Structure 1
Amino acid sequence: MSLIRFEPFREIDTLQREMNRLFENFTPPVERGSNGVAFMPAAELHETPEAIHLRLEIPGLEAKDLDVQVTAEAVAVSGERRSETKTEDKGITRSEFRYGSFRRVIPLPARIQNDKVEAKYKDGILNLNLPKAEAEKNRVVKVSLD
């Protein structure tokens, strides 16, 4: 009979790696359009001491088709995609349509002044400049050491 050495920290490390792998591959549920194809605008968030800069990729829409709502803690962007592709080849016309609404809510890492938000939409990219609330700019957190 042989002895097997029990190493609890190795098991915890293995469990942690598996959990990390699970969450790396996780994508949040998205709304599906009428054709069953999901659309979720890609987002990029950059924070500076004075503001939060948010970019969303929303191709194929015009500014009038977007609804952007901003609270002190989150940004909600919604709209409806209507897309049509037509190709003609050897007398055959092929047409594809994509329709559907989408909504994405992005929580913000700090409170903002939602009455001073600047927005620009060009070439399918929505840029939002979200100035931080004064209390957030001057916020200092004391860290206690044990």
Structure 2
Amino acid sequence: MNKSSEVKKIALEKKSDLKDKALEVKKGALEKTADAKESALMKTSEIKENAGEKTAEIKADTSDKTAEFRENAEKTRKQAERKINEFISTLKDKQEEFGKTISDYTSQKPLTDVLETENSYIIKVDLPRIKKENINVNITEDSVEIQAKFDEEDETLEFIKKERSYGDTSRIIPLPEKIEVKKASAKFEDAVLTVELPKVQEEKIKVKID
């Protein structure tokens, strides 16, 4: 074999070796690419799975919080309604109590006028449905107390509205100045008590002029 043939043979062998190495490199690259794709797919699947779990957890947590919020809101609404109803009920009771107090006060205080003349005070008191023997008049130097007793209604009856006076009533009337207690007089006519109270007259002493 001549040198030329030997060189060609060596060149062919090297070329074959290079092809084998190229094929081996290509095969390795393909295997690495496949591994990378498989790893990427596995990562993607894992990420999707984790994302799905997180989404489910968030949805469940949101649902729980929404239910809890609605429950708390319902409790708050019921508590507010109960407080409002209690307030309205208390207000109604107070109104009824106040109305009864006003009614009792106006019904138990007989209407009275106090008149003044030059020498006396005259007191007139409306006392309807009262007998004269159920009236007492007590006088001091500077006040008059009038006591009276209204007849009670039949106890078997139930009131729907009550404005008239019943039972004992009294009225103390202060006077602007002292009166002559022993000279006072009273009369009862047409359901009106009239009390006349003479004023204390200052004693006048005539002074002799020298």
Is 1:61 aligned to 2:123, yes or no? no
> Would the aligned equivalents of 2:184 and 2:195 in 1 still touch at CA under 8 Å?
yes
Supply the AA of the counterpart residue of 1:48. T
Task: Name the CA shift for 1:37/1:82 in 2 (closer, same or farther; >3 Å).
Answer: farther
> Would the aligned equivalents of 1:56 and 1:127 in 2 still touch at CA under 8 Å?
yes
Supply the AA of the counterpart residue of 1:50. N
- The one of 115, 140, 148 equivalent to 1:71 is 140
> Would the aligned equivalents of 1:77 and 1:103 in 2 still touch at CA under 8 Å?
yes
> How far 1:83 sits from its partner (Å)?
4.6
Supply the AA of the counterpart residue of 2:172. V
Residue 103 of structure 1: aligned partner: 170
Unaligned runs of 5+ in 1: 1-28, 86-93, 139-146
> How far 1:109 sits from its partner (Å)?
1.2
Higher helix share: 2
Supply the AA of the counterpart residue of 1:77. I
> How far 1:122 sits from its partner (Å)?
0.9
Number of aligned positions between the proteins: 98
Unaligned runs of 5+ in 2: 1-100, 205-210
Residue 6 of structure 1: aligned partner: none
- The one of 84, 109, 112 equivalent to 1:40 is 109
Residue 128 of structure 1: aligned partner: 195
Give the structure with higher Rg (CA).
2
- In the alignment, the residues of structure 2 paired with residue 101 and residue 69 of structure 1 have an alpha-carbon distance, to the nearest angstrom, of 15
Percent identity of the aligned residues?
25
Supply the AA of the counterpart residue of 2:137. V
Question: Structure with the greater relative contact order (CA < 8 A, sep ≥ 6): 1 or 2?
Answer: 1
Residue 115 of structure 1: aligned partner: 182
> Would the aligned equivalents of 1:60 and 1:83 in 2 still touch at CA under 8 Å?
no
> What does the per-residue CA deviation read over 1:85-113, in whole Å, with 9 as the maximum and x for residues that have no partner?
8xxxxxxxx78696311110000112100
The CA RMSD over aligned residues, in Å, is 3.1
Is 1:81 aligned to 2:160, yes or no? no
Task: Name the CA shift for 1:113/1:37 in 2 (closer, same or farther; >3 Å).
Answer: closer
Supply the AA of the counterpart residue of 2:146. V
> How far 1:116 sits from its partner (Å)?
0.7
Q: What TM-score do you get using the length of structure 2 for normalisation?
A: 0.41
- In the alignment, the residues of structure 2 paired with residue 66 and residue 119 of structure 1 have an alpha-carbon distance, to the nearest angstrom, of 11
> Would the aligned equivalents of 2:108 and 2:165 in 1 still touch at CA under 8 Å?
no
